[in-house]
Amino acid sequence: MDEVIPLFPTPFMRAPGVLPPPLAAALAAHFGAQAVQDNNASAKLSHTRMLKPADSPLLADVAGLVTPKIAEFGALLFGERMGWSIKEMWVNVLDTGGHQAMHNHANSFASGVIYLTPTHESARTVFMKSPGGHDFSFKNDHPGMVTGPYNAEKWVSPDPAPGDLVLFPSYMMHAVPPNAGSRRISLAFNAIPVRLESWGYTVRFSG
C-alpha cells in the first residue's frame, strides 16, 4: 500500500490555559504600562525592556508554570528531557492597526508566546517557511490548487485565549498581520537548555 511519510516535521506546541486568568490580567495591566519602547516594524507596536523571571514575582510565577512545558517541548527538539531556563522575557503591546514584521529569535533554542488579552482574528500569529533556498524555483499557485502541509508557505495559528501558550523552535520565522481589533498584549520569551552533549563534547548554557 502506498504511504506518505512526513519527513523531519517541525514541532509546534499549543498549551491552552497555562496561565490562570487573574495572572494573565495582572501581567497585562502591570507590564502593558511599561511597554514604552518603540519597534521599528510599526508605530503602533511597543514593548518592554528585556526582563528575567527574577525581575518580578509575576514573572517568577510565569516561569514556574511555563518551564515544565518548555522541558516537554525540548524533549521533542533534542530527544531528551533536561533542565531549561528562560533566558529573557518581554511584553508586546499591539494597538489597532499595528503589526509585527517577519522575524525569528537569535541566540536561543525554544521560543514562546503567552497571550495575555483577547486577540482579534486578524492578528493571529503567522508562521512562515524560511525564505532560504529549500523550495523549487517554480511554484504552482492559482485559485484551483489545494494548499496543504507540503506546499503551504505560511500557517496561521489558532485563535488564542488569554493565558494560552505556544512554543516553537527559535529559528522559525513568524509575524503578526495588521491588528484590526482592540489592543493585543502578549508576553514573549526565549529559552535555553542547561547543556547539549554530543559524544563526549558538552556545551553548557547559563540564562
Model confidence over 17-58: pLDDT tens digits?
999 999 999 999 999 999 999 998 899 999 999 999 999 999
Judge whether 136 lies within some domain: no
Judge whether 37 lies within some domain: yes
CATH code at position 173: 2.60.120.620
Mean pLDDT confidence for 136-164: 90
Mean pLDDT confidence for 141-169: 94
Model confidence over 88-113: pLDDT tens digits?
999 999 999 999 999 999 999 999 99
Mean pLDDT confidence for 55-79: 97
Judge whether 122 lies within some domain: yes
Judge whether 47 lies within some domain: yes
Judge whether 105 lies within some domain: yes
DSSP 136-194: -SS---STTS---TTT-SEEEPPPP-TT-EEEEETT-EEEE----SS-EEEEEEEEEES
Mean pLDDT confidence for 57-64: 98
The number of domains in the chain is 1
Distance between CA 104 and CA 29 in Å, rounded? 27
Say whether pLDDT at 133 is over 90. Answer: no
Range of the domain at 170: 13-131+145-194
pLDDT of residue 83: 96
Identify whether the C-beta of residue 46 lies closer than 8 Å to the C-beta of residue 93. Answer: yes
pLDDT of residue 151: 86
Judge whether 5 lies within some domain: no
Please state whether the predicted TM-score (pTM) of the whole model is above 0.85.
yes
pLDDT of residue 64: 98
pLDDT of residue 132: 67
Q: Percent of the chain scored above 90 by pLDDT?
A: 87
Mean pLDDT confidence for 183-196: 97
Identify whether the C-beta of residue 33 lies closer than 8 Å to the C-beta of residue 179. Answer: no
Element of type H or E holding 132: none
Cell of 92: 508586546
Judge whether 182 lies within some domain: yes
Residue 34 is given by DSSP the state: T
pLDDT of residue 116: 98
